[in-house]
Amino acid sequence: MKLNIKNMVCSRCLKVLKQELEELEVNVSSIELGVLVIDETAGNHNEIMEKIESVLHTNKFEIIHSPEEVLVEKIKHFLLCKIEELPLDSTVNLSQTLSAEFNHEYKSLSKLFSHLENTTVEKYFINLKIEKVKQLIQLRQYTFSEIGHLLDYSSVNHLSRQFKEVTGESMTEYKNAELSNRRPYDEIS
């Protein structure tokens, strides 16, 4: 049985979910971001589903039922993977990239994404980039200019303005703060 899962955004999500399901004697055939495959030949379907839903709920995951929700979740996973491939490539437009990757016109992808997520693809991607900026600031390995370059900002001023607009604080204030206020990727909207 193949289940599409919402909010699986990292390898730790996979590890935790697999471990907790196996502790409940649910046979996980395979697991990857957004997809869980269960071998249900050794048990009652309803009991297995109860266990799965319990583990998913506890860890703030959800089963996705509609093809539209699956597509939006795939877009989110694609963008999450992009944000990990630094430096970002400025030669390719985001709308063109998504259209090519998902074999749909960008306008329809954007409309569906906005409808289901209550934000645009662009704003979602900007929020992902800002969370990545926070991570890179905390590492203290890069200057603000280098971070701007890695994330394909036209200038450090552009990055600074967008960072302040999204977070309400400057990058310097964020860097000097005692506590970071990073959001997990699955809570970004």
Q: Note the pLDDT of residue 172.
A: 94
Q: Are residues 40 and 83 in the same domain?
A: no
Res 186: pLDDT: 67
110 and 34, same domain (yes or no): no
* In a shared domain, residues 41 and 126: no
143 in Cβ contact with 136 (< 8 Å): no
Torsion, Cα 43 49 50 51, to 10 degrees, reads 70
User: Do residue 41 and residue 88 come from a single domain?
Assistant: no
pLDDT of residue 10: 82
Can you list the alpha helix ranges (DSSP code H) found in 65-170?
A: 67-84, 94-102, 106-117, 121-139, 144-150, 156-167
Contacts of 38 (CB under 8 A, 6+ apart): 1, 2, 3, 21, 26, 27, 28, 29, 48, 52
Q: Which domain holds residue 167?
A: 66-188
- The reply to whether 169 and 117 lie within a common domain is yes
Write the CATH number for 11.
Answer: 3.30.70
Whether 135 and 107 share a structural domain: yes
CA dist., res. 10 & res. 34, Å (int): 10
Specify the pTM.
0.83
CATH number (domain holding residue 121): 1.10.10.60
Per-residue confidence (pLDDT) for residue 150, from 0 to 100: 95
Using a 10 angstrom Cβ sphere, with 0-12 exposed, 13-18 middle and 19 or more buried, the burial of residue 17 is buried
Q: Do 162 and 100 reside in the same domain of the chain?
A: yes
The C-alpha atoms of residue 131 and residue 181 are separated, in whole angstroms, by 9
Answer for the pair 180, 138: CB distance below 8 angstroms, yes or no.
Answer: yes
Residue 27 sits in the same domain as residue 104: no
State how far the Cα of 84 lies from the Cα of 144, in Å rounded to an integer: 18
97 and 72 in a common domain: yes
Query: Domain boundary residue among 64, 86, 115?
Result: 64
Does residue 168 share a domain with residue 76? yes
Sites in the chain below the pLDDT cut of 70: 42, 186, 189
Alpha carbon separation from 165 to 106, 125, 127, 155, 177 (Å, rounded): 26, 14, 11, 16, 18
The pLDDT tens digits for 39-74 are 877 678 889 899 999 999 999 899 998 999 999 999
Total domains, the chain:
2
Residues 114 and 176 in one domain: yes
How far is 161 from 127, CA to CA, in rounded Å? 13
